[in-house]
Amino acid sequence: MAKPASINPRIIEGLYCEALVLSDDVRAVFALSGRMDAAGEEDEPRVALSCEALRTTTRMMHAVAWLLNHRAYFAGELSEFQLRRYGKLADFPESDPARMALLDADTRALIQATERFHARLKRIDNGWRTSDPSQPSAIAALRERLEARGQH
In a domain, 17, yes or no: yes
In a domain, 77, yes or no: yes
Look up the CATH number of the domain holding residue 52. Answer: 1.10.8.930
- Give residue-wise pLDDT tens across range 23-81: 999 999 988 655 555 555 678 888 899 899 999 999 999 999 999 999 999 999 999 89
In a domain, 1, yes or no: no
Give the model's pLDDT for residue 144: 77
In a domain, 74, yes or no: yes
In a domain, 20, yes or no: yes
Pick 21 or 34 by higher pLDDT: 21
**Are residues 93 and 54 in contact, defined by beta-carbon separation less than 8 angstroms?**
no
Q: Residue 4 pLDDT more than 70?
A: no
In a domain, 118, yes or no: yes
Q: What is the Rg, in whole angstroms, of the alpha carbon atoms belonging to the chain?
A: 20
Residues sharing a CB contact under 8 Å with residue 68, sequence separation 6 or more, in sequence order? 16
In a domain, 3, yes or no: no
Does pTM top 0.85 for this prediction? Answer: no
**What is the span of the domain harbouring residue 17?**
9-150
CA–CA separation, 122 and 9 (whole Å): 17
What domain count does the chain have? 1
Give one word for 76, left, alpha or beta, with left for phi > 0 and alpha for psi -120 to 50. Answer: left
In a domain, 111, yes or no: yes
Mean pLDDT of the chain: 85
